[in-house]
Amino acid sequence: MCAPGELAIAAPVQSAEFVEDQGHGHSADLVLYSLLILRRTFSESISMAPRRSRILDTDQAGIAVRPGPPAPPHLARTGHEAVVTEFEQALICAGEAFVRFAGALLGPEAREHNLSGQDCIILQQLVTAGQPSRIADLLRFANREDVSNVQYSLRKLIKAGLVRQVKGATNRDMAYAVTEDGARATSRLVSLRQELLMLPTKEIAGLDSQLRSMTAALGLLTGLYDHGSRVLVGRR
């Protein structure tokens, strides 16, 4: 049984001795065992640390939620503000972790050509498109507007041999497509992602439902953030 506020992570192994007895062919089990140890360590550290009162212990569906760090007082004067601010802090941390992970998944190409997580994301956008894409398409897909950074990422990916230019009738029609090397790098990325992300998360009870709810919430917040940005531009 999990303590209130913990995600249930099914442990495929019961002890370190069991892991050692299984040899080296159970990388997924090792990952899950590590997650279990991290969960226990985190739970113990939280229980010993001073705690501020929390607004919610469960979500509306009754799923236990592990509280994050206390929200900054200047941004969270009410219970609702605290919930939103704590979510934003978690979003910042998750975004940074995701970008680091994306870069690491590119493996030798990332190390040799100094490719970042953002470069990897653009590569995967091109793979997802399945056809040559213009910079405007890439910006729209990722809700970005930093044209120069996207152009820089494309130059790096081209130099690494993972992406190629596809010329159109005019310079404005210039598009980009994945090369064979880019497709091979993506195949290796998918395999590593399965091992390090998909297999461990598959064992977390109720996670799929929580992710669907968070996806809907993030879509709503994206619209609110974009609307707020437009309103503030009009007030200048």
pLDDT number for residue 69? 63
Residues 126, 129, 130, 134, Cα dihedral to 10°: -60
pLDDT number for residue 11? 39
Cβ(28)–Cβ(199) below 8 Å = yes
What's the pLDDT tens digit per position in 31-40? 455 555 455 5
pLDDT along the chain (236 residues), means of 10: 42 39 47 51 44 44 56 88 93 96 94 96 96 94 95 97 88 89 96 97 95 95 95 88
Q: Which residue has the tokens 């609110």?
A: 224
pLDDT number for residue 45? 43
pLDDT number for residue 34? 52
Which residues are 193's β-sheet partners? none
Q: pTM for this one?
A: 0.68
pLDDT number for residue 115? 97
Separation CA 181–CA 127 (nearest Å): 12
pLDDT number for residue 13? 39
pLDDT number for residue 39? 52
The CATH number of 106-204 is: 1.10.10.10
pLDDT number for residue 14? 40
pLDDT number for residue 24? 44
pLDDT number for residue 236? 72
CA angle 21, 23, 25 (to 5 degrees): 135
Domain with CATH 1.10.10.10 in the chain: 106-204
CA contacts within 13 A on the Cβ side of 125? 24
